[in-house]
Amino acid sequence: MSAAADVLALASIEVELSKIEPGACASLKWRGKPLFIKHRTAGDIDLEAKTSLASLRDPETPEQRAQKPEWLIVIGICTHLGCVPIPNSGDYPGGFYCPCHGSHYDNVGRARKGPAPLNLEVPPYKFMSDTLVLVG
């Protein structure tokens, strides 16, 4: 009673990071869900490093959410009711905006405004090299 081969094949994916330009956000499909991989700029990193944890509804530091500061990897499902947010939009520079009910996330995927109660979920991942990441 083990998982079928096609299910196991989708359990993890390798992503080549060198194709994602600074400031861009790649949208992929992983385990039937949208996966966002954002190449954060130095400006993105500096901006969120200054955010007070007291101002967040689900306080997490950028270091807790990203293994390498320049790479954010999150599941692209709003934590309010499951819609798909739009990368690089909303009230927070480089962040995410959910058009269904108006949730805004910053460029580290932290819930900042609107009804979303939690930050965007960070899936398990590991860097295989400087330009290759394994998600899952």
Helix (H, G, I), strand (E, B) or coil at 72: strand
**Beta-bridge partner residues of 26:** 37
Block residue for tokens 């991942």: 125
**What angle is formed at CA 61 by the lines to CA 59 and CA 65, rounded to 5 degrees?**
105
* Intra-chain end-to-end CA distance of the chain, in Å: 21
Residues identified as active-site: 101
DSSP β-bridge partners for residue 87: 96
SS3 category, 83: coil
Residue 91's contacts (CB-CB under 8 Å, 6 or more residues apart) are 97, 104, 112, 113
